[in-house]
Amino acid sequence: MTSVTDPPQGSFRLSMLINDTRYRSYTFQFIALVLLIGFMAYLGINLVSNLAAQGLNISFGFLGNAAGYDINQTLVEYDSQSSHLRAAVVGIINTLIVAFLACVTATIFGVIAGVLRLSNNWVVRKLMAFYVEIFRNIPVLIWIIIIFSIMTVSMPAPRDFRGEDPSASMLFESFAFTNRGVYSPAPVIDGASGWIVIGVFIASIIGIFAYRRYATKKLYDTGQLLPMLWPSVALFFVPVTLVYFILGRPITLDYPSLQGFNFQGGLHLRGSLIALWFALAIYTGAFIAENVRAGILAISKGQTEAAASLGLRPGRIMNLVILPQALRVIIPPLISQYLNITKNSSLAIAVGYMDVTSTLGGITLNQTGRAIECILLLMLFYLTISLLISAVMNVYNNSVKLRER
């Protein structure tokens, strides 16, 4: 019988580099590093020689030059004489707008569909399953183009709203659905008192959160249950309405009206924005629905039954027992869905919505020919956004995480 001997000392042979587990990992890492550096150097040398052959260089100076193209939706000041950098910023803002809108809407769709898929109502259940399967299995690009086609082909033109007997009419005299997009009333803030109303509104929302925190703390400390719903609703409506009328209605609505060939005034949501927004929302909503369903199903039935045996009502069972536990399962995939929405918003380029892919990666790239710089910046932007979203959502995820003792 052989006994375990000490590893051979001192006599290092070259074959031990690959056969001895003590040295093998160093060998592999060394090989990997050499290969990586060699590969990078190969790409770098090719890049330098290609750039030299075409008389180009890597420089970001082009960002300061005048862009020379117009952007149809801008939140910050921009005209065609602004720099490429400013065009990129406008694009970034547009990306963030559509991503934010789509995230909110997709969450709403997803939660509703996910909960309804578990309903004991057969028709509703099947309808939601139909929604989920249809939207999940067809590419989002096709959905974006379909909705964009509906907006541009099937909707009436602004001139159809004109005349004594128009073939199209505005909804509630304030919303116009046209082939150029949707026109809706826009709020007009009248001076300082208007801002006061908005300030009061924000303050009351903060107040609602503060009140709910206080009530929860009181519940945990003393066991005394304060009413939650009615004070919240009152806080939401009463102060802002009071201030609004006391200050003499400083916020008015600017209704769109037909002037000349097009609607003037109001808020104009472009067809491309709506197509991108709703396509991303309904497409991702189908995925979120599945996550929500999986999250609720992951909570064992015993939890519901235990809560019911304690005498909780169904609404409270959902709010206090099921959802807090289900959120733990739902949040991580929800984070990646938000990331997906942000990344998929780059499909804006297919319908001409001027997001950062269309400005920086589209027109700017084509005009200046600075492919490497533009795409590098584009990738950096998306990387930053992705990391930010996951960081923020991970903080939230940690706050709902299961705390074990």
Partner 1 sequence: MSDTHSHSVAFVRTETLPQLPPPASEAGVVKWMRENLFSSIPNSVLTLVALYVIYQLVTGAFPWMANGIWNTNSLAECREILDGATGACFSVITERWNQLLFGFSYPSEFYWRPGLAFLLLFVAAAPVMFFDLPRKLLLFTAIYPFLAYWLVWGGTIYTPLFALLGIVIGYLVYARFVKDSFAMGFFGGVIAAFIAWFIGGYIVGAIAPAEPFLEAVQSRDMGGFMLNMTLGVVCVSLSLPLGIVLALGRQSDMPIIKWICVVFIEFIRGVPLITLLFVANVVLAFFLPPGTTFDLILRVIIMITMFSAAYIAEVIRGGLAALPKGQYEAGDSLGLDYAQSMRLIILPQALKISIPGIVNVAVGLFKDTTLVSVISMFDLVGMIRGPILSSTDWNGVYWELFMAASVLFFVVCYGISQYSQWLERRLATDHR
Stretch that binds partner 1, among 15-23, 184-192, 210-218, 263-271 (CB under 8 A): 15-23
Q: CA 315 to CA 305: how far, in whole Å?
A: 13
Within residues 232-261, the interface with partner 1 by CB under 8 A covers none
145 touches 278 (CB < 8 A)? no
Examine residue 28 and tell whether it contacts partner 1 (CB under 8 A): yes
Examine residue 108 and tell whether it contacts partner 1 (CB under 8 A): no
Tell me which residue of 323, 339, 334 sits closest to 388, measured CA to CA: 339
Which tokens sit at 371? 């492919």
Which of residues 53, 76, 192, 229 is near partner 1 by CB under 8 A?
A: 53
Query: For residue 321, which amino acid is it?
Result: V
Which of residues 41, 104, 138, 171 is near partner 1 by CB under 8 A?
A: 138
Q: CA 399 to CA 212: how far, in whole Å?
A: 17
Binding characters for partner 1, 268-307, by CB under 8 A (x = yes): ----------------------------------------
Which of residues 3, 25, 57, 81 is near partner 1 by CB under 8 A?
A: 25
Examine residue 159 and tell whether it contacts partner 1 (CB under 8 A): no
Tell me which residue of 37, 15, 36 sits closest to 27, measured CA to CA: 15
How many Cα atoms are found within 13 Å in the side-chain-facing hemisphere of 399?
Answer: 6
Q: CA 116 to CA 293: how far, in whole Å?
A: 9
Return the number of other C-beta atoms located less than 10 Å from residue 369's C-beta.
13
CA 374 to chain centre: 23
Shortest distance in whole angstroms from residue 376 CB to partner 1? 9
Examine residue 372 and tell whether it contacts partner 1 (CB under 8 A): yes
Examine residue 19 and tell whether it contacts partner 1 (CB under 8 A): yes
How many Cα atoms are found within 13 Å in the side-chain-facing hemisphere of 310?
Answer: 11
Which of residues 65, 80, 121, 169 is near partner 1 by CB under 8 A?
A: 121
Binding site for partner 1 (CB under 8 A): 18-19, 21, 24-25, 28-29, 32-33, 36, 43, 46-47, 49-51, 53, 116, 119-124, 127, 133-134, 136-142, 145-146, 149, 153, 343-344, 346-347, 349-350, 357, 361, 365, 371-372, 375, 378-379, 382-383, 386-387
